[in-house]
C-alpha cells in the first residue's frame, strides 16, 4: 500500500474508534524527557483535528508543571511556526478549520508533540500528506536540539510506512498501550 492508501485506511479506523476512552500516559512522556535529559520547557503541541489523538489533557498537565505551551500556525508554502499559547488564550480558526494561537511571537520548542495518521516500529510516520511537520523538524533541528514525540493510538501502527528522502523519522512514538 502507498502512503495515501494507508492514510485513508487508518483514518477510517481512527474515526470509528474515537469514542473509546484511549489515553496516552503523561508519565510515559515525562519518563522519555527524564531519560534523555531534556531540560527545555517549551512544548510544541497541536490542537486536535480530524479525530487526532486529543493532546489537550497532556498540554494542560505540562502547563501545570510550568512548561510553556506552543501551538503551530500554518504559513504559505506548506510552512509553519510555533507560537506561545495558554488555555486562557483565544484561538482563531485557520483556512483548514484548525484553531491557531493569535500571538505573533515565534518560539522554537524543545519538545515537539506530533499528530500521526499512521506509524511503524521504525518511528516513521504518515501525516496528512502536506509535509508540514517534516519540513518543520528539518528546519528546527538545524537551529537547536529538539526531541520529537509522536502521539497515536496503538491501532494506527502499520507494518511498514513507505518513506522518501523528505520524511523525518521521529525520536519516539507514544501510544495508549
**pTM of the entire predicted model:** 0.88
Distance separating alpha carbons of residues 24 and 58, to the nearest angstrom: 8
Please identify every stretch of the chain with a pLDDT value under 50, giving residue numbers as ranges: none
In the prediction, which pLDDT does 140 show? 92
Distance separating alpha carbons of residues 115 and 142, to the nearest angstrom: 22
**How many domains is the chain built from?**
1
Q: Using the structure block, give the residue that is written with the C-alpha cell 519540513.
A: 135
148-164 tens-digit pLDDT:
999 988 888 989 988 88
What phi and psi, each to the nearest 5 degrees, are found at residue 26?
-55, -35
The end-to-end CA distance of the chain, in Å, is 25
Residue 109 structural domain: 3-174
Distance separating alpha carbons of residues 157 and 117, to the nearest angstrom: 9
Distance separating alpha carbons of residues 92 and 45, to the nearest angstrom: 16
In the prediction, which pLDDT does 65 show? 95
CATH number assigned to the domain comprising residue 74: 3.40.50.10420
CB 72 within 8 A of CB 96: no
Amino acid at each position: 500500500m502507498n502512503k495515501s492508501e494507508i492514510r485513508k485506511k487508518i483514518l477510517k479506523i481512527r474515526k470509528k474508534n474515537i469514542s473509546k476512552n484511549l489515553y496516552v500516559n503523561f508519565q510515559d512522556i515525562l519518563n522519555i524527557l527524564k531519560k534523555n535529559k531534556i531540560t527545555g520547557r517549551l512544548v510544541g503541541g497541536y490542537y486536535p483535528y480530524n479525530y487526532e489523538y486529543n493532546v489537550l489533557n497532556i498540554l494542560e498537565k505540562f502547563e501545570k508543571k510550568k512548561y510553556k505551551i506552543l501551538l503551530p500556525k500554518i504559513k504559505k508554502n506548506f510552512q509553519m511556526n510555533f507560537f506561545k499559547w495558554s488555555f486562557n488564550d483565544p484561538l482563531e480558526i485557520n483556512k483548514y478549520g484548525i484553531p491557531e494561537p493569535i500571538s505573533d511571537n515565534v518560539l522554537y520548542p524543545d519538545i515537539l508533540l506530533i499528530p500521526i495518521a499512521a506509524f511503524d516500529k521504525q518511528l516513521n510516520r504518515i501525516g496528512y500528506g502536506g509535509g508540514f511537520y517534516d519540513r518543520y523538524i528539518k528546519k528546527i533541528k538545524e537551529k537547536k536540539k529538539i526531541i520529537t514525540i509522536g502521539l497515536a493510538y496503538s491501532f494506527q501502527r502499520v507494518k511498514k510506512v513507505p518513506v522518501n528522502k523528505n520524511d523525518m523519522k521521529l525520536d519516539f512514538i507514544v501510544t495508549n498501550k
